[in-house]
């Protein structure tokens, strides 16, 4: 299939959802062909490579729709995309025939990823899509069955550094490490080769059954996505399902965030940097950073910080859809007022779901937007009126914002991010948003020049 005749069939999508998909396709030559759900069984002039469907109209259940689509489009990936949280049961949808299901706008980044991966696959790599792989997972000098590229943020280009079948040059690898490059990039359609390679490598160094850092990170984000969608969809919850959700939270915190005793503090920090952007990545990154900061700064219990990191922003999903991804600076005063309620909405959601969290975790969630100079929200608390743990969580939240990948570009290195915050606060003492003592201590944890 050539790139020019790739088409995606979009069936019965809400206008906002249709727009999100068209925006995601904007820089590709792939067209979206909208179709009414009633015409589903009719003949089509084009053969699509992917089907994206909305909720069915009244009288047809999502499951029936899934079966109809499966019959009509055998072998094709079929996504469900909608905005309504009511009845959104991702796991059940997948079980019944959808390839994946996306709740928008929360899942926009996941949809983007899944769309890109599908297009890369059906175009046999003619549409180039890269996936980040942790450099720590690629051994210099070993033969690699996949292409390796680096991303040059200055000219926004991927440049290939080794071809499938070649070795990654050791000098180049150490230069990259020195330059704080944490990720290399592998074409999406070659990722199975990477997984195969890392499984073999771990086996050969006696770590059979362990996961590469790349996969661990992918699994963490996926677990967080599952957790959050369960939080929203299990409306009829009793104490027991609240306990189950809490168990899921603890499991995530324990197996992906806290348990990693083999690695040094800074190495663990580096493993988190430069992830795919998006709701779930943010929750898992903040959770990991908060736990690591808690260890490094000796504030609170790492597992409490990790738990608060997972849950701090879940209330955002209850805000109107158009507000969820709007930059704060662009909100009008009424919108800001509403946005300021999200810490409390997160707490309310936790309570409604009967998830019993330690008191300090609730406090952190509630105070994660309070600023050291009293200019934060919702209460405008000042200095040590904000609990120390929440001060650390706020720092982890900001730190993720400063160091995350944006449009594929890494932003700041860890020490650049902390140095940036320190110099901003030194320039203008009225802008002391974060506890200067904590910032000072934090910067001392990073190796010189990192
Ligand atoms: Fe927040």
What is the predicted pLDDT for the residue at 409?
Answer: 57
User: What is the model's pLDDT at position 261?
Assistant: 61
33 and 156 within one domain = no
Distance (Å) from CA 21 to ligand 1 centroid: 26
Query: Would you say residue 284 lies in a domain?
Result: yes
pLDDT at 1: 47
Q: Is 157 in the same domain as 91?
A: no
Q: For position 439, what pLDDT does the model report?
A: 94
How many domains does the chain fold into?
Answer: 3
Residues flanking ion ligand 1, Cβ below 5 Å: 313
User: Do 198 and 214 form a contact (C-beta atoms < 8 A)?
Assistant: yes
**113, 176: one domain:** no
Tracing tokens 């490598």 back to the chain, one arrives at: 201
> Is residue 23 domain-resident?
yes
Residue 237 CA to ligand 1 center (angstroms) comes to: 25
Determine the distance separating the centroid of ligand 1 and the alpha carbon of 159, expressed in angstroms: 36
- For the chain, which ranges sit under pLDDT 50? 1
Q: Which residue's entry shows tokens 């952007």? A: 277
Pairing outcome for strands 183-187 and 130-134: antiparallel
What is the secondary structure of 330-372 as a DSSP string?
G--HHHHHHHTTHHHHHHHHHHHTT----HHHHHHHHHTT--T
Centroid of ligand 1 to alpha carbon of 252 (angstroms): 20
Distance 32 CA to ligand 1 centre (A): 34
How far from chain centre, in Å, is Cα 85?
19
Distance CA 39, CA 28 (A): 27
**Residues facing 159 on adjacent strands:** 150
Find where tokens 């180039």 sit: 128
Q: Output 301-304 pairs: Cβ under 8 A, ≥24 positions apart.
A: 302/257, 302/258, 303/250, 303/253, 303/254, 303/258, 304/358, 304/360, 304/361, 304/364, 304/389
Residue positions counted in the chain: 450
- CATH for 265: 1.10.3210.10
Q: Are residues 371 and 431 in the same domain?
A: yes
CA of 14 to the centre of ligand 1 (A): 28
Q: Which residue segment(s) compose the domain that 87 sits in?
A: 3-122
Task: Please tell me the distance between residue 370's alpha carbon and the centre of ligand 1 in angstroms.
Answer: 10
Q: What is the pLDDT of residue 262?
A: 64
pLDDT at 12: 87
Predicted local distance difference test score (pLDDT) of residue 80: 95
209 in a structural domain: no
Q: Give the distance (Å) from ligand 1 centre to CA of residue 369.
A: 6
CA 342 – ligand 1 centroid, Å:
7
User: Between the CA of residue 421 and those of 90, 275, 341, 373, 395, what are the distances in Å?
Assistant: 39, 21, 25, 14, 10
Tell me, yes or no, whether 179 and 268 share the same domain: no
Helix, coil or strand: residue 153? coil
pLDDT at 120: 85
Q: Which of 155, 179, 201 is the last residue of a domain?
A: 201
pLDDT computed for residue 383 by the predictor:
95
């Amino acid at each position: 299939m050539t790139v020019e005749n790739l088409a995606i069939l979009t069936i019965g999508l809400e206008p906002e959802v249709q727009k999100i998909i068209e925006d995601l396709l904007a820089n590709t030559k792939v067209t979206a062909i909208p179709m009414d759900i009633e015409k589903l069984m009719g003949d089509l002039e084009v053969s699509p490579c992917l089907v994206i469907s909305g909720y069915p109209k009244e009288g047809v259940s999502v499951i029936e729709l899934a079966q109809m689509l499966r019959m009509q489009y055998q072998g094709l990936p079929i996504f469900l995309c909608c905005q309504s949280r009511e009845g959104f049961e991702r796991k059940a949808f997948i079980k019944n025939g959808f390839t994946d299901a996306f709740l928008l706008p929360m899942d926009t980044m996941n949809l983007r990823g899944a769309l890109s991966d599908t297009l890369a696959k059906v175009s046999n790599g003619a549409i180039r899509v890269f996936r980040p792989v942790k450099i720590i997972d690629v051994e210099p000098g070993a033969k690699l069955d996949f292409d390796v590229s680096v991303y040059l943020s200055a000219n926004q280009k991927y440049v290939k550094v080794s071809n499938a079948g070649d070795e990654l040059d050791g000098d180049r690898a150490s230069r990259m490490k020195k330059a704080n490059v944490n990720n290399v990039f592998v074409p999406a359609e070659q990722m199975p080769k990477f997984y195969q390679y890392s499984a073999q490598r771990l086996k050969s160094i006696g770590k059979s059954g362990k996961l590469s850092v790349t996969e661990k990170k992918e699994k963490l984000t996926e677990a967080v996505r599952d957790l959050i969608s369960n939080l929203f969809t299990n409306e009829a919850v009793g104490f027991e399902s609240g306990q189950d959700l809490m168990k899921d939270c603890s499991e995530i915190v324990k197996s992906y965030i806290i348990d990693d005793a083999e690695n040094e503090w800074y190495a663990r920090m580096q493993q988190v940097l430069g992830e795919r952007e998006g709701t779930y990545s943010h929750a898992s990154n903040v959770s990991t950073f908060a736990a690591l900061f808690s260890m490094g700064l000796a504030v609170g219990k790492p597992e409490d910080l990790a738990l608060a990191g997972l849950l701090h922003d879940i209330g955002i999903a209850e805000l109107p859809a158009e507000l969820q991804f709007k930059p704060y600076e662009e909100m009008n005063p009424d919108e800001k007022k509403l946005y300021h309620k999200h810490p409390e909405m997160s707490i309310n959601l936790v309570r409604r779901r009967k998830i019993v969290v330690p008191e300090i975790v609730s406090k952190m969630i509630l105070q994660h937007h309070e600023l050291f100079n009293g200019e934060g929200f919702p209460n405008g608390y000042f200095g040590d009126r904000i609990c120390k743990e929440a001060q650390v969580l706020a720092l982890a939240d900001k730190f993720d914002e400063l160091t995350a990948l944006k449009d594929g570009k890494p932003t700041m290195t860890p020490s650049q991010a902390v140095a940036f915050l320190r110099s901003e606060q030194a320039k203008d003492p009225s802008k002391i948003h974060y506890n200067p003592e904590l910032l000072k201590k934090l910067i001392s944890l990073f190796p010189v020049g990192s």
